[in-house]
Homo-oligomer: A and B are copies of this chain.
Amino acid sequence: MTSPYGRAESVLGGSAVYFSFAASAFAPVRLVAVVGEDFPEEFRKVLTTRNIDLSGLETRRGSQTFRWRGHFEADMREAQTLEVDLNVLAEPGPKVPDRFADSKIVFLGNTHPTQQRELLAQVRSPALVACDTMNLWIMTERDSLLQTLALVHGVILNDTEARMLTDRVNLIEAGDAILDLGPKFVVIKKGEHGAILLTREGTAAVPAFPARIVRDPTGAGDSFAGGMLGYLASCGRFDFESLRRSLVRGTVAASFTIEDFSLRRLARLERAEFDERLAAFVGMLRFD
């Protein structure tokens, strides 16, 4: 990864990792993912420093880990992909371990929508299921994606994806159109412009945390989702009020991620720092 603020080569990344790091600040996380035999021992070690159960992290013999190399221009808006090796991600997905089958909160990270449903089917009776997706599946696997969207409670996606999925420019209209596809809530992430939550009960918008230090936006969206779902797991309620509150937790998690390359900032983040920024953000948005 390179940006106008520096570079970081062959570092730990991936949606599941950013998500898990952010979520683990609120609740224990069970990670299900697959890597190749080249996955470095030191990366695994970093993951063990958090409240993350790694028994669903499959290391597949004879396969190589997914790799991505990207670059952010000065606008830091959308990463340009310089090189991508799907590797193990092009193979069949991982299995959900039996001991994870009683999980109550499920986040289906961005992968083929059919694989998302296969993973979900291995969880017995989840109370809350949310998913992510990407432009590739919206364009090439629309039918399968619609099947997944009909099964989940919520979808967390970015503005470009929401517009592409619904063919609407106005994001509020796009969100309404996604609710018509099945989900009870939609969160549209807008990067530096914050996020919007839409449900049938109400709509809410939050700005991004006004950030002076932005070195690498990679993983911001996944950290946002992790902060959201982690908070929802910890509070155990999924009504509009709780969803709205989860937005600010996601926002604050993302605001730390972008301050440094890879997982560096999240890895050294203290809970007290998180709470301090959360209080500042909540105060910034309080108008008596």
- The residues of A with any CB-CB pair to B shorter than 8 Å are 74-76, 169-173, 176, 190, 192-194, 196, 203-212, 214, 244-245, 248, 282, 284-287
A190 to B192 Cα, complex, angstroms: 11
Q: Are B190 and A210 in contact (CB under 8 A)?
A: no
Q: Which of B75, B171, B190, B196 contacts A169 (CB 8 A)?
A: B75
Q: Which residues does chain B contribute within 8 Å of A282, judged by CB atoms?
A: 287
- Minimum CB–CB distance from A74 to chain B (whole Å) comes to 5
Q: Which residues does chain B contribute within 8 Å of A74, judged by CB atoms?
A: 169
Question: Which residue from chain B places its CB closest to the CB of A280 in the assembled complex?
Answer: B202
Q: Which residues does chain B contribute within 8 Å of A204, judged by CB atoms?
A: 210, 284
Q: Which residues does chain B contribute within 8 Å of A209, judged by CB atoms?
A: 205
A74 to B76 Cα, complex, angstroms: 25
Q: Which of B170, B206, B212, B244 contacts A76 (CB 8 A)?
A: B170
Q: Are B169 and A76 in contact (CB under 8 A)?
A: yes
Q: Are B196 and A193 in contact (CB under 8 A)?
A: no
Q: Which of B76, B205, B244 contacts A208 (CB 8 A)?
A: B205
Q: Are A248 and B287 in contact (CB under 8 A)?
A: yes
Q: Are B214 and A210 in contact (CB under 8 A)?
A: no
A76 to B15 Cα, complex, angstroms: 33
Q: Are A287 and B205 in contact (CB under 8 A)?
A: no
Q: Which residues does chain B contribute within 8 Å of A169, judged by CB atoms?
A: 74-76
Q: List 23 A-B contacts (CB under 8 A).
A: A74-B169, A75-B169, A170-B192, A170-B214, A172-B211, A176-B212, A193-B193, A193-B194, A194-B194, A203-B210, A204-B284, A205-B209, A205-B210, A205-B284, A206-B285, A244-B284, A244-B287, A245-B287, A282-B287, A285-B286, A285-B287, A286-B286, A286-B287
